Amino acid sequence: MTDAPRLVDMTLRDGMHAVDHQFTPEQMADIASALDDAEMDVVEVSHGDGMGGSSINYGFAAASTEEYLEAVAPELTDTELSVLLLPGIGTVEELDMAADHGADICRIATHVTEADISQDHFEYVKDRGLEANGLLMLSHMAEPEVVLEQAQLMESYGADAVYVMDSAGALLPQDVRDRVGLLKDELSIDVGFHAHNNLGLAVGNSLAALDEGADTIDGCLRGLGAGSGNTQMEVLVGALERAGYDVGPDLYGVMDAAEDVLLPMLSEDTMPELDNDSLTLGYAGVYSSFLRHARREGKRYGVDPRDILVELGEMEVVGGQEDLITDVAERLANEGAATAEADD
């Protein structure tokens, strides 16, 4: 058997995007309990955009991060508890709160070329005694050598691991191999991989990352998540067992958590689907959480959301620029109206 990768279930964080951040603390507790019973390695909890993300810009959550942590922490025995922080969104007060409520890990996420804004965050997390992991979002936007440079900065700040984040589901298997393999060769810390399924490659790309030595992989029950979702955790566990990995989580337990606990909480429109819109996200290389906003603004302005997403991709937008979606939709609508008037 091959050594087991560490599996991080993000249903209660990245999966929040799919339900407009509306999981209740009670629902989170039920899902966390089922994942703990299945011996999941790590469970991550927060607003989809991390601690402090509950806002008019990113969408208000059903409860505060503190209420979520108070509900989830008592349900975990051997499963570790992680939180997410994006510099500029999360605050030191929230870091302290998470540490006081039993968080074991804080994952600090920046755009793939902006690791230099995270030094103070890494140092504070380490001072609080938490494991500190760095996430390089939208890693498809940078060549492998640039990803390495940014990962080395995070390593120098005290990161215990650095993740290649395929936030838009835009990477192909060779792209994953190039980035993860280089980081494994050059870093002295663990390397992780986080996939989205916009090109239908989430499980395959995760396996490619493991072939290059990745130490930890993210996923969500039922593939829940922004866009067409994350790597589907129960499928990932089954695929890893078939591939000979000595996986920690129990396959049947993870399947039951997805089928019996999570699924009854979901409506048809919250289920991840590899449809034309989410495919366009991967094709355009746009952050997956933009999808719902593009659909909404497309309907509002009478514009094909695919046109909005492709335009945003050409602009190389990043997380935090969601306000541009409305601007693009309005401009495309005006351009369409002007063209129609000229034709008349």
Tokens, residue 315: 């602009």
> Which residues on neighbouring strands pair with residue 107, listed in sequence order?
84, 133
| Structural tokens at position 209 | 């990352």
Residue 89 makes CB contacts below 8 A (sequence gap 6+) with 49, 50, 51, 52, 53, 58, 320
Q: Verify whether residue 17 is a known catalytic residue.
A: yes
- Torsion angle defined by CA atoms of residues 37, 41, 193 and 44, in that order, rounded to the nearest 10 degrees: 70
Instruction: Determine which one of 17, 101, 121, 196 is catalytic.
Output: 17
Q: Measure the CA–CA gap between 326 and 308, rounded to whole angstroms.
A: 9
Cα 71 from chain centroid (whole Å): 22
Q: Give residue 158's identity as a one-letter amino acid code.
A: G
3-state secondary structure at position 200? coil
Distance CA 51, CA 100 (A): 14
Handedness of CA 5, 75, 82, 202 (dihedral sign): positive
Residue 24 has what DSSP assignment? -
Q: Cα 120–45–79 angle (5° rounding)?
A: 100
**Start-to-end CA span in the chain (Å):** 69
Distance CA 265, CA 31 (A): 10
> What separation in angstroms does the CA of 48 have from each of 17, 127, 138, 255?
5, 25, 16, 23
Nearest to 197 by CA among 1, 14, 6: 14
Q: Which residues contact 210 (CB under 8 A, 6 or more apart)?
A: 5, 193, 217, 240, 243, 245
Q: Which residues are catalytic?
A: 17
